[in-house]
Chains A and B, each alone.
Chain A
């Protein structure tokens, strides 16, 4: 589904990603771990098309198509979703109108008509239930006045509405208490199919107790320095990253 080859990306003169190689197939869950400042969030942003980063070399292919020339919205329409570490508040735009606009933009690109009010409401109720959100969230401004946990649940709600092929969840577990973590993880797991893939970026092993990855990659100084199965998370939890870094 996604093939990243020797990806280099910079902010200004500073190179942050220094040759990432990664292949993600349908049906898989990948976890990306690593110490602060290793480039995890940058990788997520570059995949989603944020223009503050410049890709200096390498390639990203998504479902056989080069991602580089595509805008963030075009990538979204192709099926890429980025769940933000810090979801943005948009005062004045209600959550329901926002997600309705987003869903209908996706439908337009698929040649589908916009959803009727009734169809949309039904879909929204169904998807809100996945993350145990009640309808009071829909009328409020996007993420405005939401607690940390509510914001992350809202991200998963957006994901559920848009049904992406590849979801990249950037530190979705940060700032969550155990209950919110369970709700978010259960939501993500419910959406897993043989046809989609998930990348979770996390600092901690605890999220991976709920969302069990097929592969764990350790990112350090802009490179993936180790890839292993789910058991790696436990080892990192016990021993930290030093032993991996030193083994290089």
Chain B
């Protein structure tokens, strides 16, 4: 069975390339919105029954060659009973004021299973908006994890439609802010039919004057009996000036459902920190350890161990204020 997607095995020299690809991942580069060696918009069609083993990594970068506002599209269609894993990485390479908008369409047909891991790591003057338009047919399942590591302004807009029975959607998000960064996650998720489940966990660690906004609405239609929908947004504030706004919403029109939502805002737990210190763990380490533990609930949703380890190490470096680069690579994209 042939897959129909564009792949550039050899990018010309001088072009960007990731030097430390994950094992078993195929890489595709998009530079300033143009797909290297292929046509735009980037389109992946996974044929019916095709089970993709290797992860497809889309690396979308912006550099000084084009600093104009940019709008790009990516399209993913998973045919019946197909499966695949996608890693989307978004980076800026220069300190220019980038404005980027990505529209990503994800269609999961009956019984399809997909995972999307999204890494957002951009400079402070970059503003990035994503619009994910997602629909799941009967028995389809989607697991999605956003890691918003760094960026001037990152806004993720997700619209998820559960259109077929027994659909399952997991959304995870971790966002880290410092300086004057703003991270926004808007989720509109609708259960149209009975017996679907959805689960959302968005967590943020906010330092300096960082701002986070979470808006999440789960709508359960009148016909969508036996729906299971959970939504949580938790924030840790590290500094006095960081702010988090959270608005979880449930709109339920069916009467036989299991739904919950919640939102918290807190500081690091001083009791936990004292406990760790009495065991000889220095205060700074104890604080990092606690933040890593907080992040773990989201990171553990990344099913690839290698990717999870890498993300964990990126998050840890970020929290320690070190450069965000992958081991053995000097580029600061990750």
Contact = CB atoms under 8 A, between A and B. Distances in A.
A76 interface: yes
B305 to A, nearest CB: 15
Interface string A71-108: 11101110001101001101111000011011001100
A58 B175 CA distance: 47
Which of B274, B283, B292 is packed against the most chain A CB atoms within 10 Å? B274
A90 B276 contact: yes
A88 B279 contact: no
Main secondary structure of the interface of B (DSSP, over half): helix
Interface in B236-281: 269, 271-272, 274-281
Interface residues of A, number: 28
B275 A90 contact: yes
A18 B276 CA distance: 28
Which of B277, B285, B297 is packed against the most chain A CB atoms within 10 Å? B277
B275 A102 contact: no
A88 B268 CA distance: 14
A158 interface: yes
A84 B280 CA distance: 14
Given A92-B296, A93-B293, A77 B271 contact: no
Contacts of A72: 274, 277-278
Contact of B281 (A48, A50, A84, A101): A101
A109 B23 CA distance: 38
A92 B293 contact: yes
Contacts of B295: 92
B278 A81 contact: yes
Interface in B275-334: 275-283, 285, 289-290, 292-297
A101 B289 contact: yes
B253 to A, nearest CB: 35
Given A48-B278, A87-B275, A162-B280, 20 more contacts: A50-B274, A72-B274, A73-B281, A73-B282, A73-B283, A88-B269, A91-B297, A92-B295, A92-B296, A93-B290, A93-B292, A93-B293, A98-B279, A98-B281, A102-B279, A102-B281, A105-B282, A105-B285, A106-B280, A162-B279
Contact of A92 (B271, B279, B292): B292
A76 B271 contact: no
Given A92-B293, A92-B296, A92-B297, A73 B277 contact: yes
Contacts of B289: 90, 93, 98, 101
Contacts of B297: 91-92
A73 B293 contact: no
A88 B275 contact: yes
B274 A76 contact: no
A105 B280 CA distance: 6
A90 B272 contact: yes
A158 B276 CA distance: 11
Interface in A34-66: 48-50
Interface of A: 48-50, 71-73, 75-77, 81-82, 84, 87-88, 90-93, 98-99, 101-102, 105-106, 109, 141, 158, 162
Given A71-B283, A88-B271, A101-B285, A76 B278 contact: yes
Given A92-B297, A93-B289, A101-B285, A158 B275 contact: no
Contacts of A93: 289-290, 292-293
29 contacts: A48-B274, A49-B277, A71-B283, A72-B277, A73-B277, A73-B281, A76-B278, A84-B275, A87-B275, A88-B269, A88-B271, A90-B290, A91-B293, A92-B294, A92-B295, A93-B289, A93-B290, A93-B292, A93-B293, A98-B276, A98-B279, A99-B279, A101-B281, A101-B289, A102-B280, A102-B281, A105-B280, A105-B281, A158-B279
B10 to A, nearest CB: 40
Which of A88, A92, A109 is packed against the most chain B CB atoms within 10 Å? A92
Interface string B158-188: 0000000000000000000000000000000
Contacts of A49: 277-278
Contacts of B274: 48, 50, 72
Nearest to A164: B280
Nearest to A168: B278
A69 B26 CA distance: 56
Contacts of B283: 71, 73
B106 to A, nearest CB: 29
Nearest to A99: B279
Contacts of A84: 275, 278
A85 to B, nearest CB: 12
A40 to B, nearest CB: 17
Contacts of B294: 92
Contacts of B277: 49, 71-73, 76
Contacts of B278: 48-49, 72-73, 75-76, 81-82, 84
Contacts of A75: 278
B205 to A, nearest CB: 13
